[in-house]
Amino acid sequence: MRRTRPVVVGGISLAVAAIIFIVPFFFIFLQAVKSRSEASRLNFDLPKEWLLWDNFLAVVEARNYQLLLAYFNSTLITVFSVTILVVLSAMVGYVMQRRRSRWNGVAQVAVLIGLMMPPAVVPTIGLLQSIGLFKTMTGMVLIQVAYNLSFSTLLYRSFIGTIPRDLDGAALIDGAKPWQIFFRVVMPLLKPVTVTNIVVQSIAIFNDFTNPLYYLPGKENVTVQLTLYNFQSMYTSQYNLLFMNILLVTIPPLIVFIFFNRQIVAGMTAGGVKG
Amino acid sequence: MVEAQRPKRKSPYPLWFFLPAAIIYGVLFLVPTATSFWYSLTRWDLMTAEYIGLENFRQFFSEPFLVQGLINTLIYAVMTSGLKTIFGLLLAVLLTSNLIARGFLRTVVFFPVLVSTIGIGITFTVMMHPTRGIINVALEAIGIDGPGWLTDPALALFSVALVDLWKGVGLATLIFIAGLAAISPDYYEASRIDGATRMQQFRRITLPLVWPATVTVITLSLIGGLRSFDLIWAMTKGGPGFSSDVVASVIYKQYQAGFYGLSTAGNVILFGLIAVIMVPLTVMFNRREVEQ
């Protein structure tokens, strides 16, 4: 085989991909470490002084430590909604996969609608108001659960199909109750898909902008994505701080990606192929 | 051990497992979806809803900027979906071939999928600045007079769509890579012995056999494109004027303006649009596939 060709094609595509896909991230980092006047030029010059720490402090302290509050809120929403999502969608996926009943068809249609249709926002706001959950963290968590159930259920259902029925059958003969079979026997076997689910949904919910924008207004409820949006209008003359904020918001998914690359890929393709 | 002797043997897969999920999903997703059809026929301030028939829809289809939003949604969805399919397949073919730094390239192409849409939107808005943005500065250096990517009304929607492509092509690539991996190498081997060229192999083997992945990519990106809001909102807020408004941004603007009935009518129109496009498409695609 000719050995030069892969190297040449690889070299060229590497260079093109680098320019197209890496330059924007490099740009974010560069602006984030510049001084205010240097960043306002929006160019690729290296900064005279590297102000990584100063800009970091300035962003964190801005608006009375709004960013810390936002990280707290976003983390809280993500942790609670993903926990509920995982348990509830595993239960649904399990029964959908194992039992033939007339409710299966209903569940299937519900999953399909959930994957396809956007939520009706204003009626949802009206409903949340009438049950006292508008502008509350509880309301936001439940909304994230409702909107992401379809995708999680899909992942679980297809994975449970690969687990032999003999296992739940054996537990049944041993006299275990249904919920014991599920939580003690089946759930531990679902660990790979549970990890995938947690990782993929955490990123999606942490990055969600639209739903907090609609359902969680108010300064004390601010989430990470909304700080970005608020800072965009506030920092029109302070690009260095705006980009420091973008950098800080980009780091959590980067860390998750480094550790869970394989699970993310599995989740994205499995969900995709079945969807 | 004791419980096994119970007189009435219930299914080990109880239907109440559906219940908690069904309540949350039913109350917070299905109920608002169902009531939206009623509210779209009203003048509504969240307290009282006054029935006004099809007035909201009449208004939606008679205001030029609202109609524009509808057309833009279609353009945006078809364009982003088409581009992601084409570039996703090309990148997947490239990234499954034998080249150096393949793993690194896959990582680099996929990472934007996981990054905050708002962060990406702001970054590209700055890079697309008409005079100081690095894109136009770079173009100027090679003698091209760069356009006002986001300030030219004729161009703004397309510029946002390109950023959408940049952010989303990694997912399409990933799905295509999974699809390509499922094709047996025997086909390529056999056709190579028969003297097929690379182009023939691509057209006669790769394209037809990667079809299920293609369906997935088209479906996912079309739905995403029709619903898309955050990237457009972060980059142009529908502007300049209404030139890059889509139905989802119209819904938000009408909500902000306090026209809840009109906003909900927009939502119902979006349901209709997605149903009209996705249902026939899914039926058509499924006809070519074996049911699971």
- Domains (ranges, CATH) in chain A? 67-274 (1.10.3720.10)
Q: Do A122 and B15 touch (CB under 8 A)?
A: no
In whole angstroms, give the CA distance from residue B125 to residue A238. 15
Q: How much is the pLDDT for A77? A: 96
If pLDDT is split at 50, 70 and 90, which confidence band does A229 have? confident
A13-26 pLDDT, tens digit each = 778 877 899 999 99
Please state, for a pLDDT cut of 70, what percent of chain B lies above it.
95
Minimum distance, in Å, between the CA of residue B133 and any CA atom of chain A: 6
For chain B positions 175-194, those within 8 Å of chain A (CB to CB) are 175, 177-179
Q: How much is the pLDDT for A100? A: 86
Q: How much is the pLDDT for A272? A: 53
Q: Do A142 and B28 touch (CB under 8 A)?
A: yes
B133-144 pLDDT, tens digit each = 888 888 988 888
Task: Please say if the pLDDT value at position B108 is more than 80.
Answer: yes
Minimum distance, in Å, between the CA of residue A188 and any CA atom of chain B: 17
CB A227 within 8 A of CB A66: yes
Q: How much is the pLDDT for A7? A: 72
ipTM rounded to 2 decimals: 0.88
B43-58 pLDDT, tens digit each = 898 888 889 989 899 9
In A, minimum Cα distance to B211 occurs at A273
In A, minimum Cα distance to B5 occurs at A175
Q: Do B123 and A243 touch (CB under 8 A)?
A: yes
Nearest-by-Cβ selection for B18 from A95, A122, A207 = A95
A231-264 pLDDT, tens digit each = 877 766 788 889 999 999 999 888 988 888 888 8
How far CA B278 is from CA of A77, A101, B225, B250, in Å, comes to 32, 27, 12, 21
Domain limits of chain B? 53-287
Supply A219's token pair: 């300064």
In whole angstroms, give the CA distance from residue B163 to residue A154. 29
Task: Please say if the pLDDT value at position A2 is more than 60.
Answer: no
What CATH superfamily is the domain B53-287?
MetI-like (1.10.3720.10)
**Cβ-based neighbour number of residue A57 at 10 Å:** 12
Name the DSSP class of B40: T
Q: How much is the pLDDT for B45? A: 86
How far CA A234 is from CA of A242, B129, B199, in Å, comes to 9, 18, 53
Q: In this complex, is the C-beta atom of A3 within 8 Å of any C-beta atom belonging to chain B? A: no
Q: What mean pLDDT comes out for the span B153-166?
A: 95
For chain B positions 36-95, those within 8 Å of chain A (CB to CB) are 36, 39, 44, 46, 94
Please state, for a pLDDT cut of 90, what percent of chain A lies above it.
45
